[in-house]
Amino acid sequence: MISFTISTHYSTEMIDITQKVLDVIRKGDIQNGLALVFTPHTTAAITINENADPSVTSDMLMEINKIVPDDDSYQHLEGNSAAHIKSSLFGPGEVLIISKGHAVLGVWQGVYFCEFDGPRLRQVQIQLIGK
């Protein structure tokens, strides 16, 4: 397993980690298999979406913040229930197919780390499976 740290700067943000993931896959020297990209945090997530236009991520954050507002009479004592809900909606990980040594991603797709309770130092873990 390969792990790297991300420093987030805002309470909610999406950070493009595509190149880091692709570098791990390239260095892993796996021709065909899978790459599991995972974050071990209950208030963060990993997702795949468009990485060509930065307004896509800002639109996504705008809407998820409307759907799950920060203050909505939550009972969780820590005060970050919205972040836990957002994390569960997005999910802690994604699986990428590796074919001929390369990640199979659409032309416009990128891998994002989603912060919902920042700023913080976060971990991303990647497990490569295959030959």
Q: What is the pLDDT of residues 25-77, one digit of tens each?
A: 999 999 999 999 999 999 999 999 999 999 999 999 999 999 999 999 999 98
- Count of domains forming the chain: 1
What CATH code is carried by the domain that includes residue 120? Answer: 2.60.120.460
Average pLDDT (107-130) is: 98
Residue 61 is predicted with a pLDDT of 98
pLDDT above 90 for 131 = no
Residue 64 is predicted with a pLDDT of 97
Surface-to-core class of residue 110, CB atoms within 10 Å of its CB (0-12 exposed, 13-18 middle, 19+ buried): buried
Domain that includes residue 27, residue range: 2-130
Distance CA 91, CA 87 (A): 6
User: Residue 24: how many CB atoms within 10 A of its CB?
Assistant: 22
CB 8 within 8 A of CB 123: no
Smallest CA-to-CA distance from 98 within 48, 24, 45 is with 24
pTM of the model: 0.96
Residue type, 83: A
Each residue's pLDDT tens digit, 53-66: 999 999 999 999 99
